[in-house]
Amino acid sequence: MNDTSSSSSRMLQIGVVEDG
């Protein structure tokens, strides 16, 4: 798996948490 994939997933999760 690429690091970009993991980074994207984590960034998405963080964004959702902050948004909520």
3-18 pLDDT, tens digit each = 666 666 677 776 666 6
Task: For residue 12, give Cα distances in angstroms to 3, 17.
Answer: 14, 9
pLDDT for the residue 3: 61
pLDDT for the residue 13: 72
Separation CA 12–CA 18 (nearest Å) = 10
Count Cβ atoms below 10 Å from residue 16 Cβ, excluding itself.
9
pLDDT for the residue 2: 58
Decide if pLDDT at 20 tops 60: no
